[in-house]
Amino acid sequence: MKNGVNILEETIGNTIIYATQGTGYLFEIEIGIVQINISNLNIVGIYFLTGQATNKGCFLFEAKPSVITPTDPVADGGLWNSTMKNINILGFNGNGIYLKGGTASGQSASFVPNQFNIFENVRVFKNNDTNFSLFSNALKMTGQVGQHSFINCQFDGYTKTTNDVKTYDKWINVSIENTTNNYMSSAVVTFLNCTIQDSDYGVRINYAENITFDNCWFENLGVAITVIGNIESSKSINILNNRFANASGFGSLLAPNNIKAGQCISVNKSVVNIYNNYVTASDPNGVDNGSAFVLGFQDNGGINCHNNTFRNDNPKLSKTFGIMQSVIIATTINCKSNKLVFIGQPIPPIPPVVPIPTVKNIISAINAGEILNIRANGITITFDNTGNIFLTNRTTFSLSNGEIASFKKIDIGTNNETYQLLSFTKTTP
């Protein structure tokens, strides 16, 4: 597809494009900056001559620079300022839509993003549930993909029913991943009023920033959203106002061949905001006890979780683990963006002859006016006021095992970072 191409058909039902057999992609773009508009298409990967699904993918938007010469060492490329609207994609064993940005090396990588694009009412239905040799996704993003909006789109897995037993797609519907530490990750991508369903994994994000799911529908999933930071932390991942239905270990659905002890949201080495979501299941009492709403692993930057609601206020649906993070005692403790921190000693523990350090400084990415809660975990913690901790009229303050204190960040002092003791809960003799 060349720059300036417009494919504008009459209605979504009147124009059908069939793929041939083979590999590769049905649509690709030329080098350089490409601006296109496509609307009102049914694109089918079932080869009409044989009735077999093709191993092709549908759309590959691979950003490639225009020809680089010694006098022009940096050239732009990628899908820019384009729209796709009212499109169905079904029957493909390969990726439905692959946005592959930032493929050039070195400095020129920043000149080959996919950016400023809108996808509206685009629906991708995967065809294959177990062919791991393809590892296909309904939507895939790698490299620099920025300023994208997906509005009222759908990214579905695959469902097979045998004797009333359902087997769902065993791979990922939406994959957003950067595999190199070149700071050319996907960022500023919004999914608004979208649907993601029928798969072991709905969304997987690995090293991305400012990815937002707002008022979306997640249904029939083992793990609805996975956020990790294997190369670099994923940050400002916003999961807001969504509906999760049978989206943690498939809820109470009969799906024995799929994930049963799952989560709506799984977080590892990342910063995620989880607000105002609703969680339900066909039978809340039949939900697997190993499932959870949020599962956080250690070394997260911060999981902020507020104002979420659950059908019948059922504790099985609302279970969380790992929002609290553990920190090893030290003179300076780094709490990152976490709001609830347990401070303990290393494993193996510090030998008795070595005194436990006094905490003199707190480092945190929370903002002034926010509250940090610190709990002593198996040790006695002593704070003093010689660093950036303000204890009002005290020079030192201690928490015994199980006691908790709240500190408010104030933007004064060294590096505009002071933590004032606000309140505490201590055991009575």
DSSP string, 69-124: BTTB-----EEBS-EEEEEEEEEESS-SEEEE---S-GGGGGG--EEEEEEEEEEE
Of 66-70, 309-313, 320-324, the one with minimum mean pLDDT is 66-70
Residue 187 has pLDDT above 60, yes or no: yes
Q: Which of 55-59, 149-153, 286-290, 341-345 has the highest mean pLDDT?
A: 149-153
Residue 223 has pLDDT above 80, yes or no: yes
Residue given tokens 């606000």 in the structure block? 422
Stated pTM of the model: 0.93
| Residues 407, 377 contacting (CB under 8 angstroms) | no
Q: Which residue has the higher pLDDT, 47 or 342?
A: 342
Residue 328 has pLDDT above 70, yes or no: yes
How confident is the model at residue 182, as a pLDDT? 66
How do residues 198-218 score in pLDDT, each as one tens digit? 999 999 999 999 999 999 999
Contacts of 121 (CB under 8 A, 6+ apart): 85, 86, 87, 151, 152, 153
How confident is the model at residue 184, as a pLDDT? 77
Please classify residue 173 by burial: count the beta carbons closer than 10 Å to its beta carbon, then call 0-12 exposed, 13-18 middle and 19+ buried: buried
Helix/strand/coil for 65: coil
**Encoded amino acid at 18, one letter:** Y
Of 159-173, 223-237, 263-277, the one with minimum mean pLDDT is 159-173
Residue 43 has pLDDT above 60, yes or no: yes
CA distance 420 to 406: 8
How confident is the model at residue 24, as a pLDDT? 93
- The band of 336, judged by pLDDT with boundaries at 50, 70 and 90, is very high
What phi and psi, each to the nearest 5 degrees, are found at residue 38? -130, 135
How confident is the model at residue 71, as a pLDDT? 57
Residue 49 has pLDDT above 80, yes or no: no
**Encoded amino acid at 364, one letter:** S
Residue given tokens 């960040």 in the structure block? 409
CA distance 58 to 44: 9
Residue given tokens 């080959």 in the structure block? 112
How do residues 104-153 score in pLDDT, each as one tens digit? 555 455 678 999 999 999 999 998 755 555 689 999 999 999 999 999 99
Encoding tokens for residue 179? 């595999």
Measured CA distances, 248 to 158, 201, 379 (Å) = 17, 10, 36
How confident is the model at residue 342, as a pLDDT? 96
Residue 415 has pLDDT above 90, yes or no: no
Percent of residues, the chain, with pLDDT higher than 70 = 92
Residue 261 has pLDDT above 80, yes or no: yes
Q: How far apart are the first and last CA of the chain?
A: 77
How do residues 391-409 score in pLDDT, each as one tens digit? 988 999 999 999 999 999 9
- The band of 48, judged by pLDDT with boundaries at 50, 70 and 90, is confident
Of 47-51, 190-194, 238-242, 379-383, the one with minimum mean pLDDT is 47-51
| DSSP conformational letter for 326 | E
Q: Which residue has the higher pLDDT, 220 or 260?
A: 220
How confident is the model at residue 11, as a pLDDT? 85
How do residues 61-75 score in pLDDT, each as one tens digit? 999 888 766 655 567
Residue 165 has pLDDT above 70, yes or no: yes
The pLDDT of 316-322, averaged and rounded, is 94
According to DSSP, the β-strands at 186-192 and 195-206 are unpaired
The pLDDT of 231-247, averaged and rounded, is 96
Encoding tokens for residue 144? 């620099």
Measured CA distances, 344 to 320, 324, 328 (Å) = 21, 13, 5
How confident is the model at residue 65, as a pLDDT? 85
The pLDDT of 279-295, averaged and rounded, is 92
Residue 323 has pLDDT above 60, yes or no: yes
The DSSP H or E segment spanning 28 is: strand 25-28
- The band of 301, judged by pLDDT with boundaries at 50, 70 and 90, is very high
The DSSP H or E segment spanning 166 is: strand 165-177
3-class secondary structure for 173-208?
EEEEECCCCCCCCEEEEEEECCEEEEEEEEEEEECE
Encoding tokens for residue 398? 């201690």
Q: What angle do CA 347, 333, 205 make, to 5 degrees?
A: 85
Supply the mean pLDDT for the chain.
91
According to DSSP, the β-strands at 159-162 and 165-177 are antiparallel
Closest C-alpha among 188, 198, 123, 116 to residue 153: 123
Closest C-alpha among 45, 44, 40 to residue 93: 45
How confident is the model at residue 306, as a pLDDT? 95
Residue 22 has pLDDT above 80, yes or no: yes
